[in-house]
Amino acid sequence: MKGKGYIKLLVTLAVIALLGVVAIVGVNKDNAMSARDVKLGLDLAGGVSITYETVKEDPTADELSDTVYKMQRRAEAFSTEAQVYPEGDRRITVAIPDITDADEVLEQLGDAGNIYFIYGKSDKGVANIEYTQDPISLETKTTLARSLEEIMADGDVVIDGSDIAGASADIITDKLGVTENIVKLNLNDSGRSKFAAATSYCYGYYGSGSLNSIIAIVYDNEVISAPQVAAVISDGVATISGQRDYDEANILASTIRIGALPLELSVLRYYVESAKLGLDALTTSLIAGLIGFVLIIIFMIAFYRIPGLASALALLFYIELMIICLNVFNVTLTLPGIAGIILSVGMAVDANVIIFTRIREEIGTGKTVRSAIKVGFHKALSAIVDGNVTTIIAAIVLFALGSGTVVGFAQTLGIGVVLSMITALLVTKFILNGFFEIGLDSIKLYGSKHEKPAKPFVKHFPKFLCVSAACIVVGVVGICMNFAKYDAPFNYGLDFAGGTATSITFDDGIPADAQSKIEKLVLDTINEKAELSTVESENMITVKTKELSPENRALLTKAFEDTFGVTDENLTTTSVGSTVSSEMKRDALVAVIVATICMLIYIWIRFRNINFAVAAVVALIHDVLIVVALYAIDSAGITVGNTFIACLLTIVGYSINATIVIFDRIRENIAENHNRFTYGEIVNKSITQTFSRSINTSLTTFIAVLFLAIMGATSVKEFAIPLIVGIIAGTFSSVCLTGGLWYTLQRKFKKEV
């Protein structure tokens, strides 16, 4: 018996150690599968993200696919880690991490332009290009001799971007060992025949010095190269020589690729994130998470003893497995994603708390520890599964309807919930049996819980309703005041209001006259009024204006750098168009409605009683309204933005999880007690039995989120603070409202037992 127990514990420790090595070091010299190998989002790694929309309203799937492919090739010129992916039928998002010169990226990516190869001088005898000399530098430049519209009208365009398959820089070496920097041009089927005919014509003038021998390359009405044709190109593969170095060749190749997009694109929104600020946010969030994790483990061991120690080991296993899963599923980790992981740690404790409460109850009825463990896990199963499935529903809705960092949050939350069920139902049970089998079988090491007199929760239901109503009224008043101040129900953040925000972080503290200087600087530089907000704890000032073009953003960035001596590392910019912001507000409402309907249907099916579903959904609406009241209170300083969706649905998932535990106990007590108790007595008894679970779970989740609110970056705090309010509201509604509401509905539509 003891030997079997020691084997279980040794296997557990060995697996935890092995997973720990993988999570910390990885499986090879490149740290694959480790925490270092987890892909970081732009808010952590720094970089640029731009979302485009096609000018064409109904592009074909092939056109969109080709554009995504070519945008990927173009983005890879800046970073091999660049990602390009479609959003819907008309949008493409480009994310490029670790960028130091954001203006260069925005300039080259933000304006797709178009590329044309034209005759230097066609057989009509009209020159399309000419040589001019700069009066200052005396440098000779090649320019257009007439407008591009006239050239196109005369049919002097050889090929355009739709005929180009690709372009890349290369270095070749001849037989004498002389190297040359070239651009290798690849044409598709449509361009191959056109180019063959054009080069055949131009090659006839090779060596004459005539413009007829030249095919010039024009991008954005500027001649970027004017090579002489030295051979007939019939296979669709050409080389452009004459570049001074590899960088010049690479720029020419990149420009050709930029202009070769099948679809014309316009910028909808863009983000420029400082790598330094991202690293600081990552560090503080991880420290906050570590502190919360340690405190949760201490609480679990102190309160639940041996079962608490088993859950601590299972949670460690859970964290290691989470890191590996982030790599396996190629999840891009963002700040909200970290919040999702830390939150899921707190929620993972819930399954253990439910189990341990059941074990104590079974011991309190006189069962042996072994029997109590077996029965406790069995009785806790339905509540754990139902509660976690509803949270997974919230994660799925977020993933399907969310965008950007909200999707990352949904991924980590969804993975975390699934792993929490695995660790609670399998790993914790395995470890707990191991402890029991080595001789740790005293009831004192597990604790016991005896039946307590039921508290009159149903009796006080009207009072609880009054408390909730008062909080909601405060929110309504706040919304009315916001209409007067903002002409909107909330103080919308950039995601929902649209515009451009630039955050400046000062290394040595905010200068005393910074605000007045910034207001004047913005007005003088781009002739716009700015709205300023300050975060003293982070030495940060955020400047909000109407939506700026990349060109104006570059001007403003340079003005900040010159005036305050800051660098790109101290600046973060976000720009969102009005179209996108309207869609985000719509998506937020749709996400909450869809999630609520899905949960209602699931609860209805599982409990076979519509009153359970109605009571649960009313409680969810209550929790959402309480959190909305916080957002409506302007003095709270929390804006309604993209994470608002994630926050509301997290609260919905968390609250329904707590409610289901109580409903599961009500269902069980109805089945066991038959006609011995009234519905009111059953509700009071069920809430009393699950009260310690409700408080302990809320406390552990509260601890996990509290340190995010205290130590996290600004974006994380704006997520964590409403979440804390939501945890409190969810606990209150589950304990004080749902049972009473179900009882009221049951009395009205069902006969009293």
**Residues of the chain with pLDDT > 70: what percent?**
90
Question: Which of 168, 348, 182 is CA-nearest to residue 260?
Answer: 168
Q: Work out the average pLDDT over 55-69.
A: 80
Q: Are residues 32 and 60 in the same domain?
A: no
Of the residues 445, 472, 496, which one is the last residue of a structural domain? 445
Q: Are residues 210 and 298 in the same domain?
A: no
**Based on C-alpha coordinates, what's the Rg of the chain?**
32
Task: Please give the Cα distance from 380 to 422 (Å, whole number).
Answer: 14
In-domain check, residue 498: no
Asked whether the predicted pLDDT for residue 321 surpasses 80, the reply is yes
Alpha helices, DSSP H, located in 423-513: 428-437, 461-486, 494-497
Q: Which long-range contacts (CB under 8 A, 24 or more apart) does 124-129 make?
A: 124/154, 124/156, 126/154, 126/156, 127/211, 128/156, 128/211, 128/216, 129/211, 129/214, 129/216, 129/223, 129/226
Highest mean pLDDT among 249-253, 643-647, 728-732: 728-732
Confidence of residue 687 (pLDDT cuts 50, 70, 90): very high
370-428 pLDDT per residue, tens: 999 999 999 988 888 888 888 888 788 878 876 666 777 788 888 988 998 889 889 99
**Contact predicate 163/151, CB 8 Å:** no
Question: Which of 590, 196, 647 is CA-nearest to residue 409?
Answer: 647
Domain range for 75: 39-46+56-112+267-273
Q: Are residues 391 and 471 in the same domain?
A: no
Asked whether the predicted pLDDT for residue 87 surpasses 80, the reply is no
Tally of structural domains, the chain: 5
In-domain check, residue 500: no
- Tell me the CATH number at 157: 3.30.1360
In-domain check, residue 489: no
Q: Are residues 222 and 306 in the same domain?
A: no
Q: Are residues 558 and 434 in the same domain?
A: no
Q: Are residues 177 and 98 in the same domain?
A: no
Asked whether the predicted pLDDT for residue 499 surpasses 80, the reply is no
120-141 pLDDT per residue, tens: 998 888 999 998 877 776 678 8
C-alpha triplet 30, 32, 38: angle, nearest 5°: 115
Confidence of residue 276 (pLDDT cuts 50, 70, 90): low
Q: Are residues 699 and 557 in the same domain?
A: no
**Contact predicate 679/747, CB 8 Å:** yes
- Computed over every residue of the chain, the mean pLDDT equals 84
Q: Are residues 331 and 188 in the same domain?
A: no
What is the predicted pLDDT for the residue at 753? 45
Q: Which residue has the higher pLDDT, 337 or 455?
A: 455
Q: Work out the average pLDDT over 312-335.
A: 89
Q: Are residues 255 and 353 in the same domain?
A: no
The tokens describing 221, both together, are 């009405």
706-751 pLDDT per residue, tens: 887 888 767 677 778 888 888 899 999 999 999 999 999 988 876 5
Q: Are residues 628 and 671 in the same domain?
A: yes
532-548 pLDDT per residue, tens: 878 776 788 888 888 77
What is the predicted pLDDT for the residue at 405? 63
Of the residues 238, 273, 308, which one is the last residue of a structural domain? 273
What is the predicted pLDDT for the residue at 582? 66
